[in-house]
Amino acid sequence: MTEAGTGQGGEDFRRFMLEHRFGMDEIVTKLNILRDEFAHLHDYNPIESVISRLKSPESLVEKLQRKGLAVDRQPTFDEIRAAITDIAGVRVVCSFVSDVYRVFDMLVDQGDVSTVEVRDYIAHPKPNGYRSLHALVQVPVFLSEGPVPVLVEAQFRTVAMDFWASLEHKIYYKYRREVPAELLERLHEAAETAYALDTTMERLHEEVRGLDPLPDDVVGQLRDGGERPDAALLDALRRLGAAPDQRQH
């Protein structure tokens, strides 16, 4: 499938890609507004960085082929939308685990952002140790012919998680995804070390800000993981991330 080979013309393909770029820009703008607000009006900014990326046409074709949708015929745009939900992606890097959930809540609580799916790889790490909070959100893009709903994948992670993910990506690229078992084991150990660091830094952050400490059972679940994050854990993390005058006593 080439840029003009979608069966609906090159102009339609450019519009399709622009819709996703505009949707991505909408989410980035919302996050940057939050980031600037905290930088200028609050004593603490939970957002370290916001990075966006739009899949290239070549990458889009490759993924379609892996899914078997660009082999025998040209897929329609609706089929592409249904099969590939990460055409537009935004990565939000936060200082602490509590910030991850806090910023996620602030984004999806906005009236024009709809949550389609959430995959919590912090509570449920991938087998290789990968941790991050993935949210598939939908935002309207207002074009000349009217609003168009666009899917954007937003990833929320800590600095430590982002560093590990960057290293893991480089390792898989170097070995062409055929990574030696010993290296995979060490990579998994590094992921656990990074998460232990996140937990330690979270506690130090509590002390510096004078926040109430997390209950021991909640800290244990944060450190060790569980089958799924229970209500007590999520509530504690979100209260921890709230401003001092917003915390419940």
Give the residue numbers annotated as catalytic, written as ranges.
Answer: 153
Nearest to 80 by CA among 102, 99, 61: 61
CA Rg, the chain, in Å? Answer: 20
Alpha-carbon distance of 223 to 15, in angstroms, equals 45
Backbone φ and ψ of 197, nearest 5°: -65, -40
Compute CA 84 distance to the chain's CA centroid, rounded to the nearest angstrom.
16
Any residues with CB less than 8 A from the CB of 8 and at least 6 apart, and which? 76, 77
- For the stretch 31-40, contacts whose Cβ atoms lie closer than 8 Å and that sit 24 or more positions apart, written own/partner, are 31/90, 31/92, 31/103, 31/107, 34/103, 34/106, 34/107
| Number of residues that this document lists for the chain | 249
Alpha-carbon distance of 218 to 136, in angstroms, equals 27
Alpha-carbon distance of 34 to 193, in angstroms, equals 30
Containing 17, the helix (H) or strand (E) segment is helix 10-41
